[in-house]
Structure 1
Amino acid sequence: MPPHTPSPAARLAVAGDLLALLRDTTTEPRPDTQLEALTLAVAADLPVLLWGEPGIGKTAALTQLATALDLPLTTVIASVHEPSDFSGLPVVGDDPAGQGIPMAPPDWAVRLVRAGRGLLFLDELSTAPPAVQAALLRLVLERRIGALRLPPGVRIVAAANPRASAADGWELSPPLANRFVHLQWTHDPEVVVRGLGGTWPHAILPRLDPARLHGAVEFARRAVCRFLTARPPLVHRLPSGETRRGGPWPSPRSWEMTLHLIAFATAAGSSRDVLSLLVRGTVGDGPGLELLASLDRMDLPDPEALLADPARAELPERGDLRQAVLDAVVAAVRARPEKSRWDAAWALLARAVDTGTPDVVVVPATTLATLRRADWDVPATIDRLAPAMELSRRADRAAVAAGTGR
């Protein structure tokens, strides 16, 4: 008898079994800064835009995020829709003159409203023409599609390719760009290799400490308001270049998002790297880095308290923060020059030499020396600074000699 030949349906069934085995992957808790930043922004209910080259894994990350957060995923390819798909289609009723013409929402919006929760994924945003981007403004900001309003349980995440790698790509319009937290999505070769082996990292919803909520809000408000008081030009700064306008830039809207993200990151105890991604992705690299530097200085000791008791002064471990404290102490003496305060400042510089690297005292010591009055005796503590000052002079002379070739 001839051997039995499997039917085409049976062969496809075996192929299906093989595909099922290939899709059978698992996840593991693994530190992932960009995934944590994405999850925190989603928890803060802020629209997020993932930027990355094609094939980098943006869609896969969103699918995995929806599964981890137990949110039904709704994917909408922005570039293949018309503006009316987001603003609503007019439906003429029996009495348009008396009742008006309602704007009917698309079916996916109706499903989200019925579910009451979900993750709305707007893919290929950079290939959506300007008219579609304009229609998306209301959806992203007000969460309205036609006559429907998305419920609070719906989160919005979008993805885009840079214009150079997008098919018929457009720059994102400034009004739309300013409504998102922008995250640059990159790949980690180690994560990819482990994932292809069957184990991917999974997203974890941040654990917000209930005891820290009020303090986190107070800290975030103080941080942003203090920074913008010192840097008022950064309250609103529209970039000059078209490409930069399609990314993160500072405005009252984006500063409000930044405030929310600082509060969430503080309540969750997130790392500095996660906060950096979020802040720079909201107001841009320049303003974001300035704000982060300002955050570092918010908890620095009061110069007046240090001058009042230099023997018990606790100075920061980090060199840049220690330098900032010593500079602030010298500035306080300059503002109110008195012999006792001048002596206390020298005592603080000596303590800094005893408890850390001596190079941070060179600049404040040089400045402090210029504040001496003729009738002020030189304190004995200066002798402890002499080695550091001499080392600095030698370094300066070596740099000059190297520059002149001698």
Structure 2
Amino acid sequence: MNLGIHVTQTKLLDVLLHVAVARPVFIWGAPGIGKSSLVQSFARQVGLPCVSLLGSQLAPEDIIGVPQIVEGKSRFCPPGMIAREEPYCLFLDELNACSQEVQKSFYSLIHERRVGDYHLPEGSIVIGAGNRAQDSAIVKPMSSALINRMFHVQLNVSYQEWMSWAYENGIHPYVLQFLEVRPDYLWSQPPKTEEPFSTPRSWHMLSDILYEYGEAIDNETVGILARGCLTPQHAAQFQAFHKNIQGKYQLNRILEGEATFPSAPEDRDILYFLADSFRAQIRKELPADKSQVTDQHKRFAHRAKALLKELSMISLEMAQMVVAKHEEGNALPSWFVVEVVRDLPRLAAERRDG
């Protein structure tokens, strides 16, 4: 499902505080972006214990219970984790990974807050969550009856909000410093193949592992750890960042004219990292609309073109990568590209040929 309108973590908490107390809510979103932790945070805010059920591991009897004979009549007795006396937040994680039979067992629980003769205590809250079909996750079609019983909202990653959380919660300095340079690497679309990919959860995982290794960790080990958590390209860039973290080739020093791009063959991985970061910095600094360009933007654009010329003298391939067309939503401002074509004809020719 794609709702067309997405919310950040902060906005979703606000929605839950107003909607979930009245109606069941279903949160859609990619894996690893914090759906589960956000629901748990919400439950703490409203002062309710959070009971999580993992839909992909449930059978119908895990919800409706098993029949027992009471006074000569059969009665279904729901499991103890559901049949509670005090109000609570019931979190149905991976709800759309359930089989159709398990989904049917949720109908009365979601719509009427009831399982057989048992009713959830007054004040209880029901929240579901699941991945989308395009996320290469295990999902099954949800019936229209189940969809229509819930309010739906789609969660997206907010770089600013996650970084604020990361600083407050002691995420490893290497991770913070790298993502300050490459904010676009916080999350990547789940791949079609079986390989790690970058999400807030995987960056948190890498942070925990780096802390376990301590300060004496070598660059080869950093590469192994990064490749076990992140999108392969992001992992290679993180390893190059770590290799250069105490070195002289810092992008901010290059932008300010205090250093130059590395030219030694053994520093090619660092050059790639810096060139890719340079591209990201251009996208960050320059507005897409030329009518919004200020004198400060013009000065940065002039400096960027000078650095592109310097970079092309070291590696035309790297300079071309900076200005090359990338996927939609990750392009340099068109007005800046026009200036590059005008002012750097050699680079522009190579760009057209590519």
Using the size of structure 1 for normalisation, the TM-score is 0.38
Q: Larger % of helix: which?
A: 1
Larger radius of gyration: 1
- TM-score, normalised relative to structure 2: 0.44
